Structure 1
Amino acid sequence: MMPSLFIAHGAPTLVLEDNGYTKMLQELRTKLPRPRAIVLFSAHWEAPVQTVSAVEKYDMIYDFYGFPEEMYKIVYPAKGEKALAEKVRTLLDTQEIASRADTERGMDHGAWVVLRLVYPQADIPVVVLSVNPNLSAAEQYRIGQALSPLRKDGVMFIGSGGTVHNLRRINWRSTEAEEWAVKFDDWLGEKIGKWDTEALFAYETQAPHAKEAVPRNEHFIPLLLAMGAADDGRNGTLLHREYQYGNLSLICWKFD
């Protein structure tokens, strides 16, 4: 049974950094069973209908601006798997969740930054899925739940996003974690530990500093999707937690 992961992808330059978080991600593959394939939900792919990548090989998407030239030369030659993409759509259809296949879109940095750190050889097939900010938290969880059977077939789920992700509040010079960001993640960790989905689904009104931590939900959604994919086990393990620029969370959870 493969685990389901939530991995905060931080700033795009995370892929070039050498710190405690990137070291943890680079070592992660040695501590987990090797997946046959990966299904990854990216916060940087928004769509009104659940969209499933069905490409043979991904082109690179450099969906950021003003970064060092080195960033635009990175290539992660990931391959897709159309048969797995079709299985994903079949499982969604079984639960009456609408979906569509995409045969053209490349891989955005929400996906390749994480994958390059954890699986740098790009030798594991990947199917990337979109997120839909218009759905409720419970509906997000249900999508992951619908796909959970794939874990028995050697498929690992990765939700790539961020628990505290407010670009307007970032302090590029700060080296200390800001209290409001810490309190939000403290609350989140407590509810995940209890697998309290009722509270998690109501995080917008129950969690402290929720509006500051999650001004838009697209980066939070992958956490709910990753948890839903592990609904049959309901066990969450915090693998790492730290902050950059005052409040940008670098956090990784394993669910199984």
Structure 2
Amino acid sequence: MIPSLFIAHGSPTLAIENNEYTQFLNQLGKNLPKPNGIVIFSAHWLSSIQKVSNVEKFETIYDFGGFPEEMYQIVYPATGNRKLTIEIVDLLKENGIAFRTDETRGLDHGAWVVLRLLYPKADIPVISMSVNPQLTPEEQYKVGAALSSLREKDILIIASGGTVHNLRKLKWHDPFGKEDQWAVDFDNWIGDSLKIWDLDSLFQYETLAPYAEMAVPPFGNEHFIPIFYAMGAADQEKKATLLYRSYQYGNLSHSVWQFGS
């Protein structure tokens, strides 16, 4: 059974960078069994009700500004899969999760930057999913758990975000300097809790995790919460493995977690 993944998408410039992290993601795509399809939850698609893409061919969304011109020339021509959309819809119905399908939205950079690094040929069908910051972590986990059976059909479930993502704390002048200890402490606490699948603590990370307010600022938790969707997709196995971790700009985390075997 293929695992589920939480992948930090970092800065949009990952799309044009060649560094240790982009090389890791390139290799990860080669090491994983080639999936029959990909379901990706993106921190950059927010909705108060679960959205499921039903798109034949995705447009590439450039949902960022002020970056090098070459980034706006990148196209990731992913295609959808109506049969897989229907399977997802049926699973959401069975689990009492409200949803709507979306026939128009393309792939935002939280999705296409990651997918392009993993699968540059864009030859695997993709279903894009929104995340809902208004839900509790437990409810977000249940959305992922509702889709867990897809992994038995070699459908790769990816949640794209970042464990530490506070743009107000980034050291833009020092992209590869020493990482901030507060970010490391937060990530270590999250990692220790993930490895023992301590849901009670993880669901209360805002009050229990050190420096939670700095790592996951009150004005935006959308990058952190995708991890609960990815975890939920491995609820039957409850196994977490840290595949990669580094930092850019002092505290922007590049963490990749694998859930399940």
1:251 maps onto 2:255 in alignment: yes
For residues 20 and 158 of structure 1, what CA distance do their matches in structure 2 show?
20
The CA distance in 2 between the partners of 1:121 and 1:149, in whole Å, is: 26
- 1:181 maps to 2:183: yes
Where does residue 199 of structure 1 map in the other structure? Answer: 201
Segments of structure 2 that go 5 or more residues without pairing to the other structure are: none
Match of 1:30, SS?
helix
TM score, norm. by length of structure 1? 0.99
Does residue 147 (structure 1) correspond to residue 150 (structure 2)? The answer is no
Q: Paired residue for 2:242? A: 238
**CA drift at 1:157:** 0.4
Find the aligned partners of 1:100 and 1:90 in 2 and give their Cα distance: 12
Q: Percent identity?
A: 57
TM-score when normalising by structure 2: 0.97
Secondary structure, in 3 states, of the residue corresponding to 2:159?
A: strand
SS at match of 2:221: coil
Question: How far, CA to CA, are the matches of 2:29 and 2:51 in structure 1?
Answer: 27
Aligned partners of 1:135 and 1:178: how far apart in 2? Answer: 30
Match of 1:171 in 2: 171
Report 1:48-67 matches (<5 A).
Answer: 48-67=48-67
Separation in 1 of the partners of 2:89 and 2:170? 38
Q: Which residue number corresponds to residue 233 of structure 2?
A: 229
AA matched with 1:69: E
Q: CA deviation at 1:173?
A: 2.1
1:30: how far off? Answer: 2.2
2:103 aligns with 103
* Distance (whole Å) between structure 2 residues aligned to residue 245 and residue 173 of structure 1: 7
1:23 aligns with 2:23: yes
Question: Shift of the alpha carbon at 1:23?
Answer: 0.8
Aligned-residue offset at 1:226: 0.3
AA in 1 matched with 2:13: T
How far off is 1:16 after superposition?
1.1
Deviations 1:151-190 (A, max 9, x none): 0111000000000000011111231100110000000000
Cα drift, residue 204 of structure 1: 0.4
**C-alpha deviation, 1:89, in angstroms:** 1.2
Q: Is the 8 A contact 2:242 2:258 kept in 1?
A: yes
Q: Which amino acid aligns with 1:210?
A: A
The answer for unaligned runs of 5 or more in structure 1 is: none
Q: Which residue of 1 aligns with 2:214?
A: 212
Amino acid corresponding to residue 193 of structure 1 in structure 2: K
Does the Cα contact within 8 Å between 2:30 and 2:118 map onto a contact in 1?
no
Aligned residues: CA RMSD:
0.7
- 1:73 deviates by 0.2
Deviation of 1:221 after TM superposition, in Å, equals 1.4
Partners of 1:56 and 1:137 in 2: CA distance: 31
Quote how far apart the aligned CAs of 1:123 are. 0.1
- SS of equivalent to 1:29: helix
- Could you list the runs of 4 or more consecutive aligned residues of structure 1 that deviate by over 2 angstroms after TM superposition? none
Instruction: Give distance in 2, aligned partners of 1:104 and 1:58.
Output: 8
* Distance (Å, rounded) in 2 between the aligned partners of 1:74 and 1:30: 21
Kindly tell me the number of residue pairs found equivalent between the two proteins.
Answer: 256
